[in-house]
Structure 1
Amino acid sequence: MFDFLTPLSDDLIIEIHKVSNQALGKKIVMHTSHEAPILAKNSVAIIGVLDNRGSEAIADFENLNAIRLNFYNLFPGNWNNTIYDLGDILAGNTIEDTYFVVKKICAQLIKQRITPILIGGSQDITYAMYRAYDTLEQMVNLVTVDSKFDIDNRQNAPLACSYLSKIIIEEPNNLFNYSNVGYQTYHNSQEEIDLIEKLHFESYRLGEVSSNTTLAEPIFRDADVVSIDMTAIKSSDSGNTQHFNPNGFNGKEICILARYSGISDKVSSFGLFGHNNTDQEAVLISQIIWYFIEGYHYRSKEYPIGTRENFIKYIVPIDDEDLIFFKSNQSERWWIQIPYANEGNKLKRDTLLPCSYEDYINATQQEIPERWWKAQIKNSL
C-alpha cells in the first residue's frame, strides 16, 4: 500500500516538532520518508488526495500542510485509539489512475478495520471510495453533505457534478441507499429532485437540518461512506471566498454532522472534498476532522442484532403489519426492523434501520415512517 503513498515532507515534520507536547502532532503515528508505520486495527488513517481534475471550481494545490498543521496544533480528547497520517495520494496520469489507487488503499484499510479519512481533491473521489466496497461483498449506504445531488447528465459536466450518476448506473451496483443532507433547492433542477424521489433515495433540505441537526443522526448511523462537500458550508464560516456561497451550514452545524459520522458504528470511510486549501478553510477542515475522530472514539459498538439483552423491544400494530422497534438502554437510540421477506431481497437477513423516537411516536399514531417504506421498496427491487 505504501508504494502508492507519498510520505509527509521533511519540512512539515520539522514544523510538527514545534507543537506542544500535549497536542495531536506529538501523538499521531506518521508515514515519513524514514519510516512507514505498522498499522493496527480499530484505528483511523488520514490520507490526502492531491487530484482536483474532477472540478473546475477548485484551484490546484501541491500539499495539504496548512490543514495538517492546524490539525496537529489541536489537543486530543480522552482518546485511546491510534491515529495515523499516511501521507498523500498524488494525481495519476489520468483521473482513473487516481480512482484505482484510492479504491485499492481504502479497500485494504477497511478490511483491516481502519477507517480512512480522505482530504480533498474534488468530490468525484467519492466514487472511488464507493468502489472500494466492491470486494467486500456488501450493500453500501452513501451519505453526502452537499448543496447538490451531483447527478448532472450533461455530456461535458464536471466529474464532481456527475459522479453520483456513475455510481447509480455502473455495475457492480452495490448501492443500497443514498442520502443527501443539506441540499438547496435552487441548486438542483426539479427533474433531479424527482429522480431522487423515484429511486426511493433520501434528501433533506438545508433548512430542516439546520433547524434540528438531531434529524440527521439516524441517517449517519446507517451510513457506510460519508462524503462532505465543503461548498455546502457558507463562505462566511468556511473561508472559501473563491467559490462564494452565502448560504449553507455554519461551522458548528458541520462539526455536529462530522461527530454524528464518527460516532456511527457503521461508517467505515469518511471524505472531505471541494476545498481550495486556503489558510482560512484549513482552520475549519482541521476542526471537522477533530470532531469526526472525537465521535469515533466514543462509538458504543451497539447494534441490536444478536444479543438484545440491553434493548427494549416495542411492537406497534398498524393495519395488518407489525412494526418492530428496538430502544437501547445504553444510548436511548432507536432502530426499526426491516423484515427479510424472500430470496430476491438485496439484504439477505432481517436488518435494522436507525430511526428516531419521533418515528416510534408517529407509528403509535398509525403513521408508518417514510424511511421504513423506502427501505422496504429498495429491498425488494
Structure 2
Amino acid sequence: MNFNFLSPVPDSVLVYNELLSAQILGRKLRIHSKQDGIPDLEAVNIAIIGVLENRNDVNYIGEPFSLNDIRKSFYSLFPGSWSTTVADLGDINKGETVEDTYFALKEVIGILVKKDIIPIILGGTQDLTYANYRAYDALMPMVNLVNVDCKFDFGDSQKPIKNNSFVGKIVLEEPFNLFNYATIGYQTYFNSQEEIDLMEKLYFESYRLGQISKDITIVEPVLRDANIVSIDLSAVKGSEVSSHQKHSPNGIDGKEICAIARYAGISNKVSSFGIYEYKPSMDDELTSMLVAQMIWYFIEGVNYRVKDDDFSNENNYQKFITLIDDQELIFYKSIKTGRWWIEIPFLSEVNNKLKRHTLLPCTHQDYIEACNNTIPDRWYKAFQKNCV
C-alpha cells in the first residue's frame, strides 16, 4: 500500500501526548510515528491526514505551516463511548509543486475510501478540496459536495486554481462528476451577484448564515446527501477564533460548526471530511481547540450512524403521498430514526443523470409544506438538475 507520501506525527507532539492522562483520546489512536511507522489499518474506521500545503492561498507570503497545535488539542480530549477506531496517519508535506501535493492527497484518499476508511483532511488551503474531489473520479460516477463557507469559491476558472476559485474548476473541468454543490453559511456581501445568480442557474443549493443561525437543523438533509464535506474556517465568527484566524465579525459560531460536523458524521454517505484554511499563530489555542472539537463531533457522528435508508422492506418506513397541481410527491419516513426522504421520479424521455428513482433526504417541514401546496426547494432543484 503506497503511503510513501505521509510523514510521521512529529516527536514533539508524541512526547506531549505521553505526558497526558492514560484516558485521553491521544492514547486511544493508532499513530504514524517515526519509530513504529504506519499503523495497522485493520478495523480502522477514520484516518486523520494533515496536508501542509498553503501555496495557493491568494495572500500567500511563504509563512511556515504546522498542524501540531491542532493535534495537541485533539489528543488532549477524552473520547466518547465509541466503538470507532481512529488513526492519525501524519502529514502530506508540500510537494515540489502544488500539483504534486494534489496527486499525493488524491492517492491517499483513494486508498482509504476504497478500504471504507473515512479520511479527515486537515489543511492547508481549501483548494485541496479539488484534489479530494478528483480522488472520486475512480470511485463513483456522481458526487455531492457540501462547502461550509462564507463564499461560493467559484472564482475565475480561466485563471490558475486558488483557494477562492477551486469550485469553478470542479464545475467546469472534465470528467464532470459533480451532481450537487451546496454552500452552508454563505454571507451575501462576500459574493458577487454573478456568483449568486450562477448558483441559481445551476440549481445548486445555498443556505445563508441567517437561515442556519435561525434553525441549524435545516442543513441535516443536505449533509445526509453529501459524499464530500469541506469546511472553510473563515466561515466561523471572528470572536470564536484566535487573532490570526479572524475573517469576519459575523459567521457560524462554535456550537453551530460542531453541530454541522456531527451531522456530517451521522450521514451514511459522507466518505471524506476536510477542515481547511487553518492559520497557525502564537495565540493559537482557541482555533486549534475549536478544530479539535469539530473533529471530535465528526467522530461522534460516525459512531452513531444508523442504516435507515433501506426502503426494500415495508416494515422499515412509512410512505406518504401528496399532490401538488398534477405532480405527485412521494415521501418516506424511517420508522427507526424519524428521518424523511422525498422521491425524485425517473424521466424516461430525458437524458437522465440518475437512471432510476432516487430518494432525496428532506425534512418533516418539507412534507408539511407539500401538504400545503408548496413544492420543496430541494426537490425542485434536484428534479431540474435531473432534466438537464
TM-score tier after normalising by the smaller chain length: over 0.9
Shift of 1:243: 4.4
Shift of 1:158: 6.3
- Between the aligned partners of 1:49 and 1:318, the Cα distance in structure 2 is 49
**Counterpart selection for 1:271 from 271, 274, 278:** 274
**Counterpart selection for 1:173 from 155, 171, 176:** 176
1:6-45 alignment to 2 at 5 Å?
Answer: 6-33=7-34, 34-40=36-42, 43-45=45-47
**Counterpart selection for 1:136 from 130, 135, 139:** 139
- Residue 332 (structure 2) aligns with: 326
Shift of 1:156: 5.6
Q: Does 1:312 align with 2:313?
A: no
Shift of 1:14: 1.5
**Counterpart selection for 1:356 from 355, 363, 374:** 363
- List per-residue Cα deviations over 1:250-279 (Å, max 9, x = no partner): 111111111111111110000000110232
- Between the aligned partners of 2:311 and 2:83, the Cα distance in structure 1 is 26
Percent identical among aligned pairs is 51
**Counterpart selection for 1:212 from 197, 211, 215:** 215
- Between the aligned partners of 2:177 and 2:158, the Cα distance in structure 1 is 25
Shift of 1:153: 1.4
- List per-residue Cα deviations over 1:352-380 (Å, max 9, x = no partner): 10000010001111111111111111112
- Between the aligned partners of 1:143 and 1:154, the Cα distance in structure 2 is 19
Code of the aligned partner of 1:281: T
- Residue 47 (structure 1) aligns with: 49
Shift of 1:65: 1.1
**Counterpart selection for 1:67 from 67, 70, 84:** 70
Shift of 1:320: 2.2
Q: Secondary structure at the match of 1:315?
A: strand
Shift of 1:57: 3.9
- Of the structure 1 ranges 336-345 and 101-110, higher mean CA displacement relative to structure 2 is found in 336-345
- Between the aligned partners of 1:133 and 1:154, the Cα distance in structure 2 is 20
Q: Secondary structure at the match of 1:309?
A: helix
Q: Mark the runs of 5 or more structure 1 residues left unpaired by the alignment.
A: none
- Between the aligned partners of 1:136 and 1:242, the Cα distance in structure 2 is 34
- Residue 377 (structure 2) aligns with: 370
- Between the aligned partners of 1:306 and 1:8, the Cα distance in structure 2 is 45
- Between the aligned partners of 1:164 and 1:154, the Cα distance in structure 2 is 8
1:117-196 alignment to 2 at 5 Å?
Answer: 117-153=120-156, 159-196=162-199
- Residue 240 (structure 2) aligns with: 237
Shift of 1:208: 0.8
Q: Does 1:346 align with 2:348?
A: no
- List per-residue Cα deviations over 1:202-230 (Å, max 9, x = no partner): 10100111111011111111100000000
- Between the aligned partners of 1:260 and 1:302, the Cα distance in structure 2 is 15
**Counterpart selection for 2:302 from 265, 274, 296:** 296
Aligned length: 381
Code of the aligned partner of 1:75: F
Q: 1:49 to 1:159 in 2, by over 3 A?
A: same
Q: Mark the runs of 5 or more structure 2 residues left unpaired by the alignment.
A: none
Shift of 1:55: 0.8
Shift of 1:310: 1.4
- Between the aligned partners of 2:139 and 2:327, the Cα distance in structure 1 is 33
- Between the aligned partners of 2:243 and 2:301, the Cα distance in structure 1 is 26
1:273-288 alignment to 2 at 5 Å?
Answer: 273-278=276-281, 279=284, 280-288=286-294
Q: TM-score, normalised by structure 2?
A: 0.95
Q: 1:282 to 1:320 in 2, by over 3 A?
A: same
Q: Does 1:250 align with 2:257?
A: no
Q: Does 1:336 align with 2:342?
A: yes
Q: Secondary structure at the match of 1:312?
A: strand
Q: Secondary structure at the match of 1:352?
A: strand
- Contact map agreement 2:109 2:132 (CA 8 A) in 1: yes
Shift of 1:36: 1.4
- Between the aligned partners of 1:283 and 1:109, the Cα distance in structure 2 is 26
- Between the aligned partners of 2:157 and 2:127, the Cα distance in structure 1 is 16
- Of the structure 1 ranges 276-285 and 153-162, higher mean CA displacement relative to structure 2 is found in 153-162
Q: Does 1:100 align with 2:107?
A: no
- List per-residue Cα deviations over 1:77-120 (Å, max 9, x = no partner): 11001100000001111111111111111111111110000001
- Between the aligned partners of 1:332 and 1:310, the Cα distance in structure 2 is 10
- Contact map agreement 1:30 1:36 (CA 8 A) in 2: yes
Q: Does 1:78 align with 2:81?
A: yes
Shift of 1:304: 3.3
- Between the aligned partners of 1:73 and 1:170, the Cα distance in structure 2 is 42
- Contact map agreement 1:179 1:201 (CA 8 A) in 2: yes
